[in-house]
């Protein structure tokens, strides 16, 4: 009797798959094979495809695929059903990756050494160690240079760190939507406008291409408008920014409730939108609120936290000059900044809310409006730049790479390193 009881206990949970399959609703067919959908990050197709298979007696691989996609997309499978499947599959041969991803999605510790590189990557991304995730992505690519998810991880990391040329060169044969979009983003930030437009167009992201065109040069407005013929809110937003940049009336027709739409309504003169700017998240609404109301309280606080911000320095001085406010605080802030640090920081922003429309004053404009003096400050970033400038070319690039690694927020430096660009320089650049 004891032997029989031990045998029953050792078998573990009963196979829950028949009951799970019976509980799954019938779904419409999808064309893409679920394995390929899983690999390329198309969660809906993967989930539906694996459900279709397991409802009609799927293989172990199909069930593993379903548990894996359920771990990545919580909308795919009821959590209780996933827990049952994972508990039954735990320690079964071939299930380590699927069970590992599921348990990680439930907040449980998973030993990554027992998993394949792709599963290790997914689990690493649930943590906070960016270096671990990047190393895991590199391990995946060492096995499969075309893995789209690992490529996307490396692309995002390289863009975020300011390594634009490395991003442009990453996984050139991978043509998924995410990879194409990020390569176009890197080209755009690098100032390679024509290539960025072509890359966005090739990826089917015509509105992104339109934004690059009209925000780069007024001569491209016709090309941009040809790409903005849909009656949808994102197009209405970009038509609004185009009007703002060309100083023509802004239409609020078709705008949604996003912060970008609120900013456009405010620029169009809608009083309630101007008031609402103070409640919108992000730096752009804050700066626009200061520009439209003359209330510099929050802008002053942001500038105190980021005294070398090109866009905040120009906004502060431009608002004070056009509103006939006391220029002394803004002029003092400009004089105290290290001009090279300001230049290297650049004006990072989003095409969905272009700084050129929100802070329309260049340094040349401000020089004509105010008694603008030379920036005379010195700080470690500026000193490192000036020291690098004295080195031979090879050593200089090494020094600038180190500076970029220490300060990934220096988006002006990222662009300079790619194309030796000369940005709209502040007064006193050395």
Q: What is the DSSP string of 8-62?
A: HHHT-S---HHHHHHHSPP----SS-HHHHHHTT-HHHHHHHHHHHHHT---HHH
For the stretch 237-285, pLDDT in tens is 999 999 999 999 999 999 999 999 999 999 999 999 999 999 999 999 9
168-193 average pLDDT score: 93
Q: What sign results for the dihedral spanned by CA atoms 39, 41, 42, 47? A: positive
What's the rounded Cα separation, in Å, for the pair 37 and 388?
A: 47
In terms of Cα–Cα distance, which of 377, 373, 297, 313 is closest to 347? Answer: 313
Model confidence at 54, pLDDT cuts 50, 70, 90, reads very high
Residue 430 pLDDT exceeds 60? no
Spatial neighbors of 25 by CB under 8 A, at least 6 apart, are none
Residue 3 pLDDT exceeds 50? no
Percent of the chain with pLDDT over 90: 85
What's the rounded Cα separation, in Å, for the pair 367 and 343?
A: 16
Find out whether 292 and 328 touch, Cβ atoms under 8 Å.
Answer: no
What residue has token string 């401000």?
Answer: 366
What residue has token string 């439209």?
Answer: 292
What's the rounded Cα separation, in Å, for the pair 310 and 229?
A: 34
Beta bridge partners of 350: 353
The string over 380-412, giving b where at least 16 C-beta atoms fall within 10 Å of a residue's C-beta and e elsewhere, is ebbebbeebeeeeeeeeeebbeebbeebebbbb
Q: What is the distance, to the nearest Å, from the Cα of residue 52 to the centroid of all Cα atoms in its chain?
A: 34
Residue-level pLDDT at 8: 43
In terms of Cα–Cα distance, which of 94, 96, 80, 92 is closest to 11? Answer: 92
In terms of Cα–Cα distance, which of 67, 152, 134 is closest to 103? Answer: 67
Rounding to the nearest 10 degrees, give the CA dihedral for residues 83, 85, 89, 95: -90
Tokens of 297: 């309280």
- Count CB-CB contacts under 10 A for residue 220: 16
Find out whether 418 and 190 touch, Cβ atoms under 8 Å.
Answer: yes
In terms of Cα–Cα distance, which of 80, 102, 92, 99 is closest to 19? Answer: 80
Residue-level pLDDT at 128: 85
Residue 428 pLDDT exceeds 70? no
What's the rounded Cα separation, in Å, for the pair 410 and 374?
A: 21
Whole-prediction pTM value? 0.86
What's the rounded Cα separation, in Å, for the pair 66 and 51?
A: 7
Residue 162 pLDDT exceeds 90? yes
Residue-level pLDDT at 29: 78
Tally of residues, the chain? 430
What residue has token string 């699927």?
Answer: 98
Residue 202 pLDDT exceeds 60? yes
The string over 176-203, giving b where at least 16 C-beta atoms fall within 10 Å of a residue's C-beta and e elsewhere, is bebbbbbbbbbbbbbbbbebbbebbeeb
Residue-level pLDDT at 4: 41
What residue has token string 């459900």?
Answer: 51
Q: What sign results for the dihedral spanned by CA atoms 174, 74, 22, 18? A: positive
Find out whether 307 and 289 touch, Cβ atoms under 8 Å.
Answer: no
What's the rounded Cα separation, in Å, for the pair 255 and 265?
A: 9
Find out whether 275 and 293 touch, Cβ atoms under 8 Å.
Answer: no
366-394 average pLDDT score: 94
Find out whether 137 and 144 touch, Cβ atoms under 8 Å.
Answer: no
Residue-level pLDDT at 11: 62
């Amino acid at each position: 009797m004891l032997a029989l009881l031990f045998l029953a206990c050792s078998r573990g949970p009963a196979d829950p798959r028949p009951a799970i399959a019976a509980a799954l609703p019938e779904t419409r067919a999808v064309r893409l094979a679920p394995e390929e959908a899983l690999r390329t990050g198309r969660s809906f197709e993967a989930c539906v495809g694996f459900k279709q298979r397991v409802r009609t007696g799927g293989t172990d691989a199909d069930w593993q695929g379903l548990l894996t996609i359920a771990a990545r997309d919580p909308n795919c499978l009821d959590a209780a059903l996933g827990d049952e499947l994972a508990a039954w599959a735990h320690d079964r041969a071939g299930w380590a990756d699927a069970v590992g991803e599921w348990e990680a999605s439930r907040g449980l510790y998973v030993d990554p050494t027992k998993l394949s590189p792709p599963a290790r990557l997914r689990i690493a991304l649930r943590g906070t160690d960016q270096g671990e995730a990047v190393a895991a992505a590199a391990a995946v690519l060492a096995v499969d240079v075309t893995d789209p998810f690992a490529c996307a991880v490396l692309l995002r990391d390289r863009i975020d760190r300011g390594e634009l040329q490395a991003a442009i060169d990453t996984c050139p044969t991978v043509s998924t939507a995410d990879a194409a979009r990020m390569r176009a983003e890197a080209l755009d930030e690098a100032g390679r406008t024509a290539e960025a437009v072509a890359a966005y167009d090739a990826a089917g992201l015509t509105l992104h291409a339109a934004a690059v065109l009209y925000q780069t040069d007024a001569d491209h407005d016709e090309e941009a408008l040809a790409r903005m013929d849909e009656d949808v809110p994102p197009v209405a937003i970009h038509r609004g920014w185009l009007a703002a940049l060309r100083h023509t009336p802004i239409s609020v027709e078709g705008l949604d409730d996003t912060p970008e739409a609120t900013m456009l309504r405010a620029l169009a003169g809608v009083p309630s939108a101007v008031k609402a700017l103070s409640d919108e998240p992000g730096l752009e609404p804050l700066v626009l609120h200061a520009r439209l109301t003359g209330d510099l309280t929050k802008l002053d606080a942001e500038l105190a936290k980021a005294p070398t911000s090109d866009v905040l320095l120009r906004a502060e001085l431009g608002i004070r000059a056009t509103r006939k406010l006391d220029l002394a605080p803004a002029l003092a802030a400009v004089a105290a900044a290290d001009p090279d640090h300001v230049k290297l920081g650049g004006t990072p922003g989003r095409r969905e809310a272009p700084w050129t429309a929100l802070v329309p004053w260049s340094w040349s404009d401000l020089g004509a409006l105010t008694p603008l003096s030379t920036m005379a400050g010195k700080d470690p970033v500026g000193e490192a730049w000036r020291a690098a400038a004295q080195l031979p070319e090879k050593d200089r690039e090494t020094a600038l790479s180190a500076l970029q690694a220490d300060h990934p927020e220096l988006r002006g430096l990222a662009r300079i390193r790619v194309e030796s660009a000369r940005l709209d320089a502040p007064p006193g650049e050395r």
